[in-house]
């Protein structure tokens, strides 16, 4: 008994250890080759074919035609503009809201955990169920949002601004101009996760820095710009990268709330990709679209990482 | 003079704190109002839902909305399906991520560092690139219209981030513990299952909750792979309340949404600590 185990301890043969390692990691290896690397290669090749995904005999090699088609496709342009519009507004607004809430929670207030819970909750529970609820909030006639707006307009009208009397609130999801802003409002509602990451960063800023600034007679604004912002810049960096990656993949909201409408006003990139892949069964074209998205997301991520050397401050560097 | 300026600052500070409270309460209302609004609508008769100007609640509440909404479509089945998919995936993610994490943290094998880099690289890949090949693979395996495409991938590694979490945790466990177990004749599998996995309980819970919530809410996967509505999870089932009967049954849609939200709400309040921890682990990785 002891002899056997001692032998194992002394000389677990190298090949046996290798085998054990690969065996333990084998679920991931299967997944990596069958569901990541293999499909990546296949998807890359798909981007150069024309196929409806049914009969292998129908596969036609078309070279770079899919990419050329995407470059000329007005719907792709529309989807890219929509997605960029959504992303470049929802991410900064979400980050600003998250930072503002985190700073509010970072004040020494009683019952802070109650407020933190409320602000954080939407980002956890948000999904199809809350999307359905927001559809009803955005309803132009019977929704809460416009009820509030009409109330405010009524007060302004009473004060004497006559323009407010005839003012009509937006039709939100039903309007071409307001559909994307509606989705942005909803996305800011779900900013709680970024808020918690900011809050953790704020709580890690050493008090001594603020105390030193106080001695130098620094004001609130100056302390915020010269101490808080550099100190939390790693959190800002992380939230920015995750926000950009996430917002470029926006799908479910538009699929459920507007189906890309009205008049393609919310036709987002992934929604278009989904339509091409699973409604039109254009395997090749949709694969090319997926790779274009990959390259766009990669480019933005690398751009942020590159620029981070100039604005992200890491303690101890 | 001295006391007057002291009082002045005290008043100013209190006014500042008071306005912060007012702001915090106002914002809390803003964050809660979509859910409260839907909750109110879920208890209204249809005619009140479409009353102008709108109201938050009407009296008496129409309780029947709930049983009526849930029996309009096989809602109990939707919930059950969601549980089947979610639990199977979550268990798979915990087991396979911890096993693979153990291999990367505690076993010495050739190429480990290289494969670890590959593992980290997979985090960068957006899922859309894999969407179409996955669909064709699962279609050819005959898995379309089953839960296998939604569950099986969870058992194959469980995702780079979760593997990473387990690896980091396992790396911190002293080597003496493994050595002692080996002297007693325990195999690596036993050491993993009886020593390391129980020690990793905080990570197991964190990963479990993150995985559960993620699978409960997933939409695109079921949308692509399931076409028979009786097999729908609740995320897809809710969508049918939008379509069936022309979408005019808002009170039913809201009631069903409230019920669908309920498990998530409960889980959120029970395990906010772990959810927060998981989130901050994500953040510290960056």
**Residues in CB range of A257: below 8 A, 6 or more apart:** A131, A134, A135, A138, A173, A182, A183, A266
**Same-domain status, B134 and B16:** no
* pLDDT above 80: residue A221: yes
Confidence at B246, pLDDT banded by 50, 70, 90: low
A124: contact with B, CB 8 A cutoff: yes
A103 reaches B (C-beta below 8 A)? no
- B102, A249: Cβ pair inside 8 Å? no
The torsion angle over the Cα atoms of residues B120, B126, B129 and B133, rounded to 10 degrees, is: 70
Give the pLDDT mean for B102-116.
91
- Domain membership flag for residue B162: yes
Q: Is the pLDDT of residue B43 over 90?
A: no
Whether residue B34 sits in one domain with residue B154: no
* Contacts with B17 from chain A: Cβ below 8 Å: 107, 109
Q: How far is CA A39 from CA A271, A285, B15, B235, in A?
A: 21, 16, 61, 27
Give the residue from chain A lying closest to B129, CA to CA: A290
Q: Is residue B277 part of a domain?
A: yes
CB < 8 Å from B in window 55-84 of A: none
Structural domain includes residue B47: no
Number of domains in chain B: 2
Give the pLDDT confidence score for residue A293 in this predicted structure: 94
Please indicate whether, in this complex, the C-beta atoms of B184 and A122 are within 8 angstroms of each other.
no
Please compute Rg for chain A using Cα positions.
26
Instruction: Check residues B83 and B67 and name the one with the higher pLDDT.
Output: B83
Question: Region B103-126: what's the mean pLDDT?
Answer: 89
- Per-residue pLDDT of A123-161, as tens digits, reads 988 889 899 899 989 988 888 889 889 888 888 888 877
Q: Is the pLDDT of residue A243 over 50?
A: yes
Spatial distance between the Cα atoms of B27 and A117, rounded to a whole number of angstroms: 12
Instruction: Please indicate whether, in this complex, the C-beta atoms of B279 and A1 are within 8 angstroms of each other.
Output: no
CATH number at residue B263: 1.10.3720.10
pLDDT at A315: 65
Q: Is residue B34 domain-shared with residue B74, that is, in the same domain?
A: no
Judging contacts by C-beta atoms under 8 Å, the chain B residues touching residue A172 are none
Distance CA(A310)–CA(B244), nearest Å, equals 54
User: How confident is the model at residue A163, as a pLDDT?
Assistant: 77
The number of angstroms, rounded, from the C-alpha of B12 to the middle of its chain's C-alpha atoms is 44
- A44 contacts A266 by C-beta, under 8 angstroms: no
Q: Which of B141, B140, B162 is CA-nearest to residue B92?
A: B162
Size of interface A-B (CB pairs under 8 A): 261
Is B217 an interface residue toward A (CB < 8 Å)?
yes
**Does residue B215 surpass a pLDDT of 90?**
yes
Query: Does B240 reside within a domain?
Result: yes
- End-to-end, the C-alpha distance of chain A in Å comes to 53
Enumerate residues 61 to 90 of chain B having a beta carbon within 8 A of any beta carbon in chain A.
Answer: none
Q: Burial, B36: exposed, middle or buried (Cβ in 10 Å; 0-12, 13-18, 19+)? A: middle
Nearest CB among A6, A36, A197 relative to B283 is that of A197
Confidence of residue A316 (pLDDT cuts 50, 70, 90): low
Question: Is the pLDDT at A9 greater than 60, yes or no?
Answer: no
In this prediction, residue B244 carries a pLDDT of: 63
Domain limits for position B77:
67-285
The residue of chain A with its CA nearest to that of B50 is A142
Residue A34 burial by CB count (10 A; 0-12/13-18/19+): exposed, middle or buried?
middle
**pLDDT of res. B1:** 46
- Asked if B264 lies within 8 A of A127 by C-beta distance, the reply is yes
> Could you count the other beta carbons within 10 Å of the beta carbon of residue A14?
11
Q: SS3 for B108? A: coil
Do B185 and B119 have their domain in common?
Answer: yes
d(C-alpha B218, C-alpha B278), whole Å: 18
d(CA A48, CA A42): 10
| Rounded Cα–Cα distance for residues B135 and B141 (Å) | 10
* CB nearest to B239's CB, from A107, A256, A287: A256
Task: Flag if A196 and B276 touch (Cβ within 8 Å).
Answer: yes
The answer to the question of residue B60 being in a domain is no
Instruction: Tell whether B37 and B73 lie within a shared domain.
Output: no
Distance from CA of A142 to the nearest CA of B (A): 5
Mean pLDDT (chain B, rounded)? 87
**Residue A3, pLDDT score:** 41
Is residue B252 a part of any domain in this protein? yes
The predicted structure's pLDDT at residue B159: 86
Q: Are residues B101 and B162 in the same domain?
A: yes
Sign of CA dihedral A91, A94, A97, A101: negative
Give the C-alpha separation, B99 to A266, whole Å.
43
B151 contacts chain A (CB < 8 A): no
Mean pLDDT computed over A68-77: 94
- The ipTM of this complex is 0.87
Distance CA A165, CA A168 (A): 9
CB contact residues (below 8 A), chain B span 249-278, against chain A = 250, 253-254, 256-258, 260-261, 264-265, 268-269, 272, 275-276
- State whether the Cα torsion B54-B57-B58-B63 is positive or negative: positive
Chain A hits for B34, CB-CB cut-off 8 Å, are 130, 133-134, 137, 144, 189
Chain B contact for A149, CB < 8 A? no
- Give the single-character DSSP code of B26: H
Domain membership of residue B55 (yes or no) is no
Q: Is B33's Cβ below 8 Å from some Cβ in A?
A: yes
Q: Are B101 and B112 in contact (CB under 8 A)?
A: no
Give the pLDDT score at A5: 45
For residues B94 and B196, membership in a common domain is answered with yes
- Tokens 């190429």 -> residue: B111
A 166-195: CB under 8 A from B: 189, 193
Whether residue A8 is predicted with pLDDT greater than 70 in this model: the reply is no
Looking at the fold, whether B247 and B160 belong to one and the same domain comes out as yes
The answer to whether residue B61 is domain-embedded is no
Least confident range from A186-195, B189-198, B240-249: namely B240-249
Selecting from B32, B107, B131 the residue whose C-beta is nearest the C-beta of A24 gives B107
B-chain CB neighbours of A242 within 8 Å are 286
* CATH top class, domain A72-311: mainly alpha
Q: Do A119 and B28 touch (CB under 8 A)?
A: yes
Closest CB to B37: pick one of A21, A137, A189: A137
Looking at A253-257, A288-292, B109-113, B245-249, which range is the least confident one?
B245-249
Q: What are the residue ranges spanned by the domains of chain A?
A: 72-311
Shortest CA gap B228–chain A (Å): 16
Judged by average pLDDT, the poorest of A12-26, A35-49, A63-77 is A12-26
What is the three-class DSSP state of B195? Answer: helix
Closest CA to B61 of B36, B39, B30, B78: B39
Cβ-Cβ contacts under 8 Å, B258 against chain A: 129
Does the CB of B247 have a partner CB in chain A at under 8 Å? no
**What is the SS3 string spanning chain A?**
CHHHHHHHHHCCCHHHHHHHHHHHHHHHHHHHHHHHHHHHHHHHHHCCEECCCCCHHHCEECCCHHHHHHHHCHHHHHHHHHHHHHHHHHHHHHHHHHHHHHHHHCCCCCCHHHHHHHHHHHHHHCCHHHHHHHHHHCCCCCCHHHHHHHHHHHHHHHHCCCHHHHCCCCCHHHCCCCHHHHHHHHHHHCCHHHHHHHHHHHHCCCHHHHHHHHHCCCCHHHHHHHHHHHHHHHHHHHHHHHHHHHHHCCCHHHHHHCCCCCCCCCCCHHHHHHHHHHCCCCHHHHHHHHHHHHHHHHHHHHHHHHHHHHHCCCCCC
From A132's Cα to the closest Cα of chain B, the distance in A is: 7
- The reported pLDDT for the residue numbered A1 is 38
| B179·A31 Cβ contact <8 A | no
If asked whether residues B6 and B121 sit together in one domain, one would say no
* B113 and B173, same domain (yes or no): yes
């Amino acid at each position: 008994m002891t002899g056997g185990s001692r032998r194992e301890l002394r000389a677990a043969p190298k090949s046996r250890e290798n085998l054990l390692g690969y065996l333990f990691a084998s679920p991931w290896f299967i997944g990596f080759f069958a569901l990541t690397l293999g499909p990546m290669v296949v998807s890359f090749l798909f981007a150069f074919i024309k196929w409806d995904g049914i009969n292998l005999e129908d596969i036609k090699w078309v070279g770079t035609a899919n990419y050329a088609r995407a470059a000329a496709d007005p719907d792709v342009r529309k989807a890219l503009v929509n997605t960029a519009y959504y992303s470049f507004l929802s991410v900064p607004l979400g980050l600003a809201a998250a930072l503002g809430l985190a700073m509010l929670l970072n004040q020494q207030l009683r019952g802070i955990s109650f407020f933190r819970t409320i602000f954080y909750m939407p980002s956890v529970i948000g999904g199809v169920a809350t999307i359905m609820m927001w559809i009803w909030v955005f309803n132009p006639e019977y929704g809460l949002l416009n009820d509030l707006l009409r109330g405010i307009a009524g007060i302004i009208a009473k004060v004497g601004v006559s323009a407010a009397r005839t003012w009509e609130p937006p039709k939100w999801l039903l309007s071409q101009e307001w559909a994307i802003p509606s989705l942005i409002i909803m996305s800011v509602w779900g900013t709680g996760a970024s808020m918690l990451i900011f809050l953790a960063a704020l709580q890690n800023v050493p008090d001594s820095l603020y105390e030193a600034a106080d001695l130098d007679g620094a004001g609130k604004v100056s302390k915020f710009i010269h101490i808080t912002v550099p100190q939390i810049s790693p959190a800002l960096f992380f939230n920015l990268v995750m926000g950009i990656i996430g917002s470029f993949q926006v799908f479910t909201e538009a699929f459920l709330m507007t189906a890309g409408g009205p008049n393609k006003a919310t036709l987002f990139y992934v929604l278009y990709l989904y339509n091409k892949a699973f409604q039109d069964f254009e395997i090749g074209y949709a694969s090319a679209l997926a790779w274009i998205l990959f390259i766009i997301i990669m480019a933005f991520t690398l751009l942020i990482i590159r620029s981070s050397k100039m604005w992200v401050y890491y303690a101890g560097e | 003079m001295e006391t007057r300026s002291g009082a002045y600052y005290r008043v100013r500070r209190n006014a500042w704190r008071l306005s912060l409270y007012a702001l915090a309460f106002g914002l809390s209302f803003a964050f809660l109002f979509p859910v409260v609004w839907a909750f109110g609508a879920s208890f209204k008769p249809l005619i009140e839902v479409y009353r102008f100007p709108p109201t938050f609640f009407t009296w008496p509440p129409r309780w029947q909305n709930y049983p009526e909404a849930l029996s309009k479509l096989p809602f109990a089945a939707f919930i059950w399906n969601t549980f089947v998919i979610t639990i199977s995936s979550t268990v798979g993610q915990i087991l396979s991520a911890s096993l693979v994490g153990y291999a990367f943290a505690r076993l010495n094998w050739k190429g480990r560092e290289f494969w670890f880099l590959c593992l980290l690289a997979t985090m960068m890949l957006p899922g859309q690139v894999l969407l179409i090949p996955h669909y064709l693979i699962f279609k050819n395996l005959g898995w379309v219209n089953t839960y296998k495409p939604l569950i099986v991938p969870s058992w194959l590694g469980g995702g780079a981030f979760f593997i990473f979490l387990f690896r980091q945790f396992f790396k911190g466990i002293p080597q003496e513990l493994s050595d002692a177990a080996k002297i007693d004749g325990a195999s690596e599998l036993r050491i993993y299952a009886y020593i390391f996995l129980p020690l990793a309980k905080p990570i197991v819970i964190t990963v479990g909750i993150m995985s559960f919530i993620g699978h409960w809410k997933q939409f695109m996967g079921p949308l692509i792979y399931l076409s028979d509505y009786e097999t729908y999870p609740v995320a897809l089932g809710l969508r049918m309340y939008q379509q069936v009967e022309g979408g005019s049954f808002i009170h039913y849609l809201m009631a069903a949404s409230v019920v669908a939200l309920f498990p998530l709400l409960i889980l959120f309040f029970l395990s906010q600590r772990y959810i927060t921890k998981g989130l901050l682990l994500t953040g510290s990785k960056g």
